[in-house]
Amino acid sequence: MRDMELAKVDLSAGHSDLENWAGNWIWRAVHCLANSTDFNPSPKWIAQRLNITVENAVDALEGLERLKMIERNGSTFKVVTDWVKLGPSEIDRRHLLFQHSKIALQLITKLKAHDKYGCEILLGKKELISKYGSRFKALYNEMREEGVRSGGTDVIASEVSFMVLTGTEGQRGEQ
Protein backbone atom coordinates (compact mmCIF):
# COMPACT_ATOMS: atom_id res chain seq x y z
CA MET A 1 0.00 0.00 0.00
CA ARG A 2 1.48 3.36 -0.91
CA ASP A 3 1.19 6.40 1.31
CA MET A 4 -0.34 9.47 -0.21
CA GLU A 5 2.20 12.22 -0.57
CA LEU A 6 1.00 15.44 0.91
CA ALA A 7 2.89 18.65 0.59
CA LYS A 8 1.70 21.56 2.68
CA VAL A 9 -1.96 20.76 2.15
CA ASP A 10 -4.31 23.69 2.34
CA LEU A 11 -6.85 22.73 4.97
CA SER A 12 -7.96 26.29 5.51
CA ALA A 13 -9.85 26.57 2.22
CA GLY A 14 -13.43 25.81 3.19
CA HIS A 15 -14.81 22.29 3.23
CA SER A 16 -12.14 20.53 1.24
CA ASP A 17 -12.20 16.78 1.01
CA LEU A 18 -9.07 16.48 3.11
CA GLU A 19 -10.66 18.63 5.78
CA ASN A 20 -13.64 16.28 5.85
CA TRP A 21 -11.31 13.29 6.11
CA ALA A 22 -9.28 14.92 8.89
CA GLY A 23 -12.20 16.27 10.90
CA ASN A 24 -15.10 13.86 10.43
CA TRP A 25 -15.07 10.43 12.06
CA ILE A 26 -17.42 9.07 9.39
CA TRP A 27 -14.92 9.42 6.52
CA ARG A 28 -12.21 7.75 8.60
CA ALA A 29 -14.49 4.96 9.73
CA VAL A 30 -15.69 4.23 6.16
CA HIS A 31 -12.04 4.22 5.02
CA CYS A 32 -11.27 1.68 7.76
CA LEU A 33 -14.37 -0.40 7.00
CA ALA A 34 -13.33 -0.70 3.36
CA ASN A 35 -10.47 -2.95 4.53
CA SER A 36 -12.84 -5.34 6.28
CA THR A 37 -13.15 -8.90 4.95
CA ASP A 38 -16.93 -8.56 5.01
CA PHE A 39 -17.00 -5.11 3.38
CA ASN A 40 -20.07 -4.44 1.30
CA PRO A 41 -19.87 -1.32 -0.90
CA SER A 42 -23.59 -0.69 -0.55
CA PRO A 43 -24.10 2.67 1.18
CA LYS A 44 -27.09 1.15 2.97
CA TRP A 45 -24.89 -1.63 4.40
CA ILE A 46 -22.24 0.90 5.45
CA ALA A 47 -24.91 3.14 7.00
CA GLN A 48 -26.29 0.26 9.05
CA ARG A 49 -22.85 -0.89 10.16
CA LEU A 50 -21.82 2.55 11.36
CA ASN A 51 -25.26 3.79 12.42
CA ILE A 52 -25.13 6.75 10.07
CA THR A 53 -27.34 8.02 7.27
CA VAL A 54 -27.10 6.60 3.75
CA GLU A 55 -26.31 10.11 2.52
CA ASN A 56 -23.31 10.34 4.84
CA ALA A 57 -22.12 6.94 3.62
CA VAL A 58 -22.39 8.07 -0.02
CA ASP A 59 -20.62 11.34 0.78
CA ALA A 60 -17.76 9.48 2.47
CA LEU A 61 -17.35 6.94 -0.35
CA GLU A 62 -17.31 9.64 -3.01
CA GLY A 63 -14.93 11.83 -1.00
CA LEU A 64 -12.52 8.97 -0.29
CA GLU A 65 -12.58 8.12 -3.97
CA ARG A 66 -11.81 11.73 -4.92
CA LEU A 67 -8.93 11.67 -2.44
CA LYS A 68 -7.74 8.46 -4.12
CA MET A 69 -7.78 6.65 -0.79
CA ILE A 70 -10.12 4.07 -2.26
CA GLU A 71 -10.79 3.18 -5.86
CA ARG A 72 -13.46 1.23 -7.67
CA ASN A 73 -12.62 -2.42 -8.18
CA GLY A 74 -15.34 -4.03 -10.25
CA SER A 75 -18.52 -3.80 -8.20
CA THR A 76 -16.73 -2.88 -5.00
CA PHE A 77 -13.97 -0.62 -3.72
CA LYS A 78 -10.42 -1.38 -2.71
CA VAL A 79 -8.26 0.64 -0.37
CA VAL A 80 -5.44 2.35 -2.24
CA THR A 81 -3.91 4.28 0.61
CA ASP A 82 -3.99 2.68 4.03
CA TRP A 83 -3.17 5.77 5.99
CA VAL A 84 -2.36 9.39 5.50
CA LYS A 85 0.20 11.08 7.64
CA LEU A 86 -1.05 14.50 8.63
CA GLY A 87 1.55 15.95 10.95
CA PRO A 88 3.20 19.28 11.65
CA SER A 89 5.39 18.95 8.56
CA GLU A 90 2.31 18.78 6.33
CA ILE A 91 0.05 21.43 7.79
CA ASP A 92 0.18 24.31 10.20
CA ARG A 93 0.27 23.00 13.81
CA ARG A 94 -2.65 25.13 14.90
CA HIS A 95 -4.84 23.84 12.11
CA LEU A 96 -3.75 20.29 12.87
CA LEU A 97 -4.97 20.73 16.44
CA PHE A 98 -8.21 22.22 15.13
CA GLN A 99 -8.87 19.14 13.00
CA HIS A 100 -7.88 16.80 15.84
CA SER A 101 -10.21 18.59 18.25
CA LYS A 102 -13.18 17.78 16.05
CA ILE A 103 -12.38 14.10 15.68
CA ALA A 104 -11.42 13.73 19.36
CA LEU A 105 -14.69 15.26 20.56
CA GLN A 106 -16.76 13.25 18.09
CA LEU A 107 -15.12 10.06 19.32
CA ILE A 108 -15.56 11.01 22.98
CA THR A 109 -19.31 11.33 22.39
CA LYS A 110 -19.34 7.71 21.19
CA LEU A 111 -18.20 6.49 24.61
CA LYS A 112 -20.66 4.37 26.57
CA ALA A 113 -20.45 3.56 30.26
CA HIS A 114 -19.02 0.07 29.62
CA ASP A 115 -16.26 1.24 27.24
CA LYS A 116 -12.58 1.48 28.23
CA TYR A 117 -11.29 4.99 28.84
CA GLY A 118 -8.73 6.58 31.08
CA CYS A 119 -6.84 9.65 32.06
CA GLU A 120 -3.40 9.88 33.59
CA ILE A 121 -1.72 12.83 35.29
CA LEU A 122 1.91 12.30 36.23
CA LEU A 123 5.24 14.00 36.93
CA GLY A 124 8.08 14.12 34.43
CA LYS A 125 9.91 16.15 31.82
CA LYS A 126 8.13 16.98 28.55
CA GLU A 127 10.68 14.84 26.64
CA LEU A 128 8.81 11.91 28.15
CA ILE A 129 5.95 12.71 25.78
CA SER A 130 8.00 12.15 22.59
CA LYS A 131 9.57 9.03 24.06
CA TYR A 132 6.33 7.37 25.09
CA GLY A 133 4.26 8.91 22.31
CA SER A 134 6.17 6.79 19.80
CA ARG A 135 5.47 3.69 21.93
CA PHE A 136 1.77 4.43 21.80
CA LYS A 137 2.05 4.68 18.01
CA ALA A 138 3.82 1.33 17.94
CA LEU A 139 1.07 -0.14 20.14
CA TYR A 140 -1.61 1.12 17.76
CA ASN A 141 0.26 -0.51 14.88
CA GLU A 142 0.40 -3.80 16.81
CA MET A 143 -3.30 -3.52 17.56
CA ARG A 144 -4.07 -2.82 13.90
CA GLU A 145 -1.99 -5.76 12.68
CA GLU A 146 -3.55 -8.15 15.19
CA GLY A 147 -7.00 -6.90 14.17
CA VAL A 148 -6.27 -7.70 10.53
CA ARG A 149 -4.68 -11.08 11.35
CA SER A 150 -7.66 -12.13 13.44
CA GLY A 151 -10.11 -11.13 10.67
CA GLY A 152 -11.83 -8.58 12.89
CA THR A 153 -14.74 -6.67 11.33
CA ASP A 154 -15.61 -4.16 14.06
CA VAL A 155 -14.44 -0.57 13.57
CA ILE A 156 -12.65 0.47 16.76
CA ALA A 157 -11.64 4.05 17.53
CA SER A 158 -9.20 5.44 20.04
CA GLU A 159 -7.93 8.91 20.75
CA VAL A 160 -4.83 9.80 22.73
CA SER A 161 -3.26 13.12 23.48
CA PHE A 162 -0.58 14.44 25.79
CA MET A 163 -0.27 17.89 27.26
CA VAL A 164 1.89 19.63 29.85
CA LEU A 165 -0.30 21.29 32.45
CA THR A 166 2.34 23.32 34.30
CA GLY A 167 3.97 26.51 33.07
CA THR A 168 2.51 29.47 31.21
CA GLU A 169 1.20 29.18 27.66
CA GLY A 170 4.39 30.79 26.42
CA GLN A 171 6.52 28.26 28.29
CA ARG A 172 4.41 25.37 27.01
CA GLY A 173 4.86 26.57 23.46
CA GLU A 174 2.52 28.26 20.96
CA GLN A 175 -1.09 27.12 21.50
Partner 1 sequence: MTKRPLGELIAILLKSQRKTQSQIVQVLGWPHCQLNRFLNGHGDLSCSNFVSLLKELGIDIEKQLQAKLKKHTDIDDASIETTADCVQYILQDLDSVSRQTLLRTFAWASDLGSRRKMPSKVSEILKRETNSI
> Would you count residue 26 as binding partner 1 (CB under 8 A)?
yes
> Would you count residue 56 as binding partner 1 (CB under 8 A)?
yes
Among 109, 150, 168, 171, binds partner 1 (CB under 8 A): 109
Q: Is the dihedral of CA 34, 92, 141, 25 positive or negative?
A: negative
Helix (H, G, I), strand (E, B) or coil at 77: strand
**Binding to partner 1, residues 58-97 (CB under 8 A):** 58-59, 62-63, 65-66, 68
Which C-beta is closer to partner 1: that of 71 or that of 146? 71
> Would you count residue 139 as binding partner 1 (CB under 8 A)?
no
CB of 87 to partner 1, least distance (A): 21
Helix (H, G, I), strand (E, B) or coil at 115: coil
Which C-beta is closer to partner 1: that of 108 or that of 143? 108
Tally of residues, the chain: 175
> CA nearest 83: which of 11, 22, 174?
22
Q: What is the largest CA-CA distance in the chain?
A: 56
For the CA atoms of 45, 65, 1, 18, the dihedral, rounded to the nearest 10 degrees, stands at -110
Interaction site with partner 1 (CB under 8 A):
14-15, 19-20, 23-26, 53, 55-56, 58-59, 62-63, 65-66, 68, 98, 101-102, 105-106, 108-109
